[in-house]
């Protein structure tokens, strides 16, 4: 009895005090360094509404950015972890480009991942990242992207056929655009990354489409565990077999890549796709006795190419269609350019043709400005760094975040930022502002390696859509749309519904 009383009145309070001390001991960090910040709350820091799913990730990043007007840097607490938010374009340039050797790595949670995750380019660090990045870069040259664009072209034709078959009424049909473009993008990436012809537009229940479409299906309890570890004890992550991606999907995709690779080598099959470029690079390294790539790394990059490309490209396409539907005069103008350029190329949607479509390019970039798939970029300080023109000294393993969503909506750089205006990306307008206030693909040596391929495939999809069809708002179109509070990437809570109809005349 005495022991129970001792436990309740001494041990338990002592443990609670210890827990509170551990959870708040970093909360004086930014005050001690003289950096403006928002007073943090126990366990949550400054992100309580996000952790409790009361606010979307994009809305949080925008809110935090505008909480510090005119500050070049600001302090944020994510749980108990202090993170430096960099708001100044020149400081962003220094961190992402000039002083990149101090910020080589991205912060990652070191869960007990399978090899297909730990070997992804976004997860690799230091010298290993540098070696794999250098090996992969030649696979995204203009010539290689042009070759893969032939595969995109075939999927574009399938998309047109699907829409012609689907639209069976004069008034068109209502479609959820994220799902529609998700299937198009899945077919493109499956073909370009895996050499798999899944035709998910016609057969959405096909095995590959069914598995790949569920990569983001993670049980809610697992998401909550990840949040708790991230906020309170990230150093314990290595003891937990958790993942931001569905493990069954990863296992399926691993087997597809390995089987496809073995079949090609065994039967001497070659294709103009990403997997073939990886196989060739691996074979070349073996002949030169180099040791940068191995089969696990090849498998990991193929899966990354699918998952990253599938999610972000379909998001860009869906929101571009949304803006074109809400701005019919812009839709008409870009369609006129499409007709004009295609006529010069015998009606063929080629790599060269889409690269001549300047206004289409401006439309896509303005869409990514207003609807960036990724709300922020993160870097990890890899060696001590004094932030220029300040007395702040960042220690190794300090976290730095670049608030993409905030920068893209700052009226200082983009007047009337809620207005969709492709002319912001005319050559003379871009010259008036820093390139570091527009970061849909990041910047510097650690930018998105597949950016040019993503832009090419996205613009080709829009060409196939606009040359035969038009998009308009429908009864289900939400204006403005609500952000999903459960997704890290950009997602509309109720989807992007539009009416798709054949062009008249």
Q: At 76, phi and psi to the nearest 5?
A: -130, 145
Q: Which residue has the tokens 């069954």?
A: 248
CA 210 → CA 2, 62, 188, 203, 205, distances in Å? 60, 34, 15, 10, 6
Give me the sign of the Cα torsion angle 148, 167, 335, 368: negative
What contacts 178, CB < 8 A, 6 or more positions away?
Answer: 314, 315, 318, 491, 492, 495, 496
What is the Cα Rg of the chain in Å?
24
What contacts 1, CB < 8 A, 6 or more positions away?
Answer: none
CA 59 → CA 48, 303, 486, distances in Å? 13, 29, 12
Point out the annotated binding site for heme. 448
End-to-end CA distance of the chain: 90
Q: Is 504 within 8 Å of 357 (Cβ atoms)?
A: no
CA distance 297 to 303: 10
**Short-list 193, 184, 188, 252, CA closest to 217:** 252
Point out the annotated binding site. 448
What contacts 61, CB < 8 A, 6 or more positions away?
Answer: 375, 376, 403, 404, 405, 406
Torsion angle (degrees, nearest 10) of CA 439, 442, 445, 451? -100
Which three-class secondary structure state does DSSP give residue 243?
coil
**Short-list 225, 313, 233, 253, CA closest to 489:** 313
Beta strands (DSSP E) in 233-381 are 377-380
CA distance 42 to 23: 6
Q: Cis (ω within 30 of 0) for the bond into 480?
A: yes
Q: At 174, phi and psi to the nearest 5?
A: -85, 130
CA distance 336 to 353: 14
Q: Token pair for residue 122?
A: 């976004």
């Amino acid at each position: 009895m005495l022991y129970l009383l001792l436990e309740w009145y001494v041990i338990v309070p002592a443990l609670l005090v210890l827990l509170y001390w551990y959870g708040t001991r970093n909360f004086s960090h930014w005050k001690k360094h003289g950096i403006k910040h928002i007073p943090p709350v126990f366990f949550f820091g400054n992100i309580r509404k996000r952790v409790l799913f009361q606010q979307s990730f994009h809305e949080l990043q925008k809110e935090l950015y505008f909480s510090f007007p005119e500050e070049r840097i600001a302090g944020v607490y994510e749980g108990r972890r202090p993170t430096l938010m960099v708001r100044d374009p020149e400081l962003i340039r220094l961190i992402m480009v000039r002083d990149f050797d101090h910020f080589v790595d991205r912060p990652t949670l070191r869960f007990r991942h399978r090899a297909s995750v730990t070997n992804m380019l976004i997860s690799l660090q230091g010298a290993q990242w540098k070696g794999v990045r250098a090996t992969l870069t030649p696979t995204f040259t203009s010539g290689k992207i042009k070759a893969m664009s032939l595969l995109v072209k075939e999927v574009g034709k399938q998309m047109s056929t699907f829409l012609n078959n689907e639209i069976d009424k004069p008034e068109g049909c209502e479609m959820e655009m994220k799902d529609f473009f998700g299937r198009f993008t899945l077919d493109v990436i499956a073909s370009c990354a895996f050499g798999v012809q899944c035709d998910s537009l016609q057969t959405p229940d096909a095995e590959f489409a069914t598995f790949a479409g569920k990569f983001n299906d993670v049980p809610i309890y697992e998401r909550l565990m990840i949040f708790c570890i991230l906020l309170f004890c990230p150093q314990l992550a290595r003891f937990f077999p958790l993942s931001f991606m569905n493990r069954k999907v990863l296992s399926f995709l691993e087997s597809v890549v390995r089987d496809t690779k073995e079949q090609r080598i065994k039967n001497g099959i070659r294709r103009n796709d990403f997997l073939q470029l990886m196989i060739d690079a691996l074979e070349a390294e073996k002949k030169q006795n180099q040791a940068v790539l191995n089969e696990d790394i090849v498998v990991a990059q193929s899966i990354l190419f699918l998952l990253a490309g599938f999610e972000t490209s379909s998001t860009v396409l869906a929101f571009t269609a949304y803006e074109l539907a809400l701005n019919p005069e812009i839709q008409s103008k870009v369609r006129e350019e499409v007709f004009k350029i295609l006529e010069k190329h015998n009606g063929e949607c080629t790599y060269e043709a889409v690269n001549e479509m300047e206004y289409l390019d401006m439309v896509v970039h303005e869409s990514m400005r207003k609807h960036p798939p990724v709300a922020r970029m993160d870097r990890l300080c890899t060696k001590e760094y004094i932030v220029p023109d300040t007395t702040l000294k960042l220690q190794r393993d300090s976290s730095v975040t670049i608030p993409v969503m905030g920068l893209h909506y700052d009226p200082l750089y983009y007047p009337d930022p809620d207005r969709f205006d492709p002319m912001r990306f005319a050559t003379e307008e871009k010259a008036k502002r820093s390139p570091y206030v527009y970061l849909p693909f990041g910047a510097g040596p650690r930018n998105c390696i597949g950016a040019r391929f993503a832009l090419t495939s996205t613009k080709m999809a829009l060409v196939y859509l606009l040359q035969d069809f038009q998009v308009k708002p429908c009864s289900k179109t939400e204006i403005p749309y609500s952000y999903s509070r459960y997704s890290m990437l950009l997602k509309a809570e109720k989807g992007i519904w539009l009416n798709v109809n054949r062009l008249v005349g």
